[in-house]
Amino acid sequence: MANHLPTVGVEEEYFLVDASHRAVVAAASRVLPRVKPVAGDLVTGEVSQYQVEGKTPPCGTLSELRHELRRVRRAVAAAAADEGLRLVASATPLLGMRAPIPLNTDPHYLAQVETFRSLYDTFAFCALHVHVQVPDRDHAVLVGNHLRPWLPTLVAMAANSPFWEERDSGYCSWRTLGATRWPVAGPPPYFSSAAHYDALAASLQAAGATHGERSLYWDVRPCAHLPTVEIRAMDVTTSVEDAAAFAVLVRALVVQALERVRRGDPGPAVDGSLLRAAYWRCARDGLSGHSLDPRTGRLVPTPHRLRQLLAYARPTLAEQGELPQVAAVLRRLVAHGGDAGRQRAAHARTGSLLGVVDDLADRTDSRRRPASTGPDHRAGHQGR
């Protein structure tokens, strides 16, 4: 097995829900002190008190990633259970969110409230971020150009947020719509170099549209403190197996992009308006129907687009021995409509968002805890 590939790491965010009533709970400040002795800096707070974030160290293989993701989830789930809570890997909260959301008291977030105001009132979203090692900042920026056409497909592949404000939004990834409301978010512009990137970042900060590099919320960006490129387009996924497969697939995309950058190819200058339209279409329909190919402006079946993405990444996945496992995950997702389809199926089966939360919590917790024995329904939370 090849051992020269760049390392890959994952950050994933989870909601904390009451084990009985299944509503989100502003309990991060209670859970974090319990998990810190076990997981250290691998578990941190997030924007809201409803959430915590788990991180893996840099990993070399798919099996190592799975192991680290399970280890972090087990630690957080155990700490949450001590507080009467469960862990839910869904990109939007299912029950109990109230606006304005209870914010983390980290100065980084509090400083931005003055600028972004009510944008924070409902910013309760959980994402999957993948960090891939790159040689330097210039490579990170140019890799982003090559990844831009594939970002909508990653949105569709990982869509896991069909419900919002306790009803079906009609979208597979409502998080994508909510996250792209910010002045600097969604698909990044096309950049000629790291200097171009830095100049635009400085202008945006001077305009008050950002608070430093941490608030450049583009879906591909060079990491400010690590020698990595960070890919942020995906909803958090409920299954550890899927999260690990997504991460090594993204690494393979980056490796292929790096090869092109080294050959002097700066990447395709995909039109920004087409790219945003492709985002919208993939966020709405997920893995079903058709998606917009931003390179051609044509609609293609989304499973076909996913096969094209896999073909682009195939050389690296095959070299690393990861192709069969990643391909199997993608086939299963297409067959069952992905995580968004799974949420809707749980709702149809149980007739309630409570049932959706139970299914999510059971699949998130890698300790295989039994489903909640709390009440089967609650007034005001019947699905529509």
| Residues 198-203: contacts with CB under 8 Å, at least 24 apart | none
Q: Is the pTM of this model over 0.75?
A: yes
Phi, psi values for residue 248, rounded to 5°: -75, -30
CA distance 250 to 380: 40
pLDDT of 367 reads 63
Tokens matching residue 99: 């606006």
Contact between 310 and 326 under an 8 Å Cβ cutoff? The reply is yes
Could you report the per-residue pLDDT of 138-155, keeping only the tens digit for each? 999 999 999 999 999 999
Enumerate residues 6+ apart whose C-beta is below 8 A from 4. none
Radius of gyration of the chain (CA): 20
CA distance 309 to 383: 35
DSSP state of 377: -
Q: Return the beta strands (E) in 42-183 as ranges.
A: 43-45, 51-55, 85-88, 127-133, 163-164, 167-168
CA distance 362 to 138: 42
Q: Dihedral sign, CA of 213, 214, 219, 221? A: positive
Could you report the per-residue pLDDT of 81-137, keeping only the tens digit for each? 999 999 999 999 999 999 999 998 877 777 788 888 898 899 999 999 999 999 999
Integer CA distances (angstroms), 150 to 147, 154, 376, in order? 5, 7, 41
Provide the CA 293 distance to its chain's centre, in angstroms: 21
Tokens matching residue 50: 């409803």
pLDDT of 116 reads 87
Q: Return the beta strands (E) in the chain as ranges.
A: 8-18, 43-45, 51-55, 85-88, 127-133, 163-164, 167-168, 185-186, 217-218, 220-222, 228-235, 290-293, 298-301
Q: Which residues of the chain have pLDDT under 50?
A: 1-2, 369-384
CA distance 265 to 370: 52
CA distance 372 to 378: 14
Contact between 156 and 291 under an 8 Å Cβ cutoff? The reply is yes
Tokens matching residue 139: 């490579």
